[in-house]
Amino acid sequence: MTTTKVTERASVLRCDNPGMMTLEGTNTWILREGSGRAVVIDPGPDDEAHISAVVEAAGEVGLVLFTHRHFDHTDALSRMVDLTGAPTRATDPEFCRNAGPLVDGEVIDVDGLQIEVLATPGHTNDSTCFMIGAEASLFSGDTILGRGTTIVAHPDGVLGPYLDSLAHIRELIEEGLVSRILPGHGPVIDDPAAVVDFYLEHRAERLDQVRAAVEAGAVTPREVVERVYSDVDEMLWPAADLSVAAQLTYLKDNN
């Protein structure tokens, strides 16, 4: 496993857990200011080889952060605590050890490294991004992927808040506060405005398709999937069911 330096403060170590939902694998981010202690974002699944590589690359760890609760980001929690003794923090208190849950807008300082917490619910209700203002970098977890689009899976995923989160990130880009996105899966995004615009357009198109399917007589999520996702591998239909359920809920609430 190779650690790749991406910015002055951030390096990435990709877990060897490729898949339909994880792309090439989970990106574990290692951040530090100068010679200070490291901050690890999303140490990944319970994969001993990956965890050992992260600990070796990070050196002294001052804090472990999680972008959201999914196992491919969080299952290394206990092992990371055992190996480093570092506190862990997330929006969901379940993933906090020796520290409190994250608060939207707070600024975390670890040996001069300042990280701003940005609540971005939608992919899951606890989804959180992290910003390093000094280099206009946004660590997006699964809110925005390095390739393709993410899933908003009912009931933990909720489309209305997700669209609001994307709009908020778009505002930060327009204000010059975000110039690159470092995702939980896939490559770094150096043109974040174009990607966020694509995400927003994609969601609008899907909503139009789901609305049309309902008007044509579809009632259940699977009936909508059979119409809207007919060109998609049926192996992905169970995930599409959950995504459509979130879209149907959104359309019902915004009728």
| Lookup: tokens for 190 | 């150096």
Directed axis angle between helix 237-253 and helix 192-215, to 10°?
A: 80
Check if 72 is active-site. Answer: yes
| Distance separating alpha carbons of residues 77 and 100, to the nearest angstrom | 15
* 116 within 8 A of 105, measured Cβ to Cβ: yes
From the list 47, 72, 126, 156, the catalytic residue is 72
Q: Which residues are catalytic?
A: 72
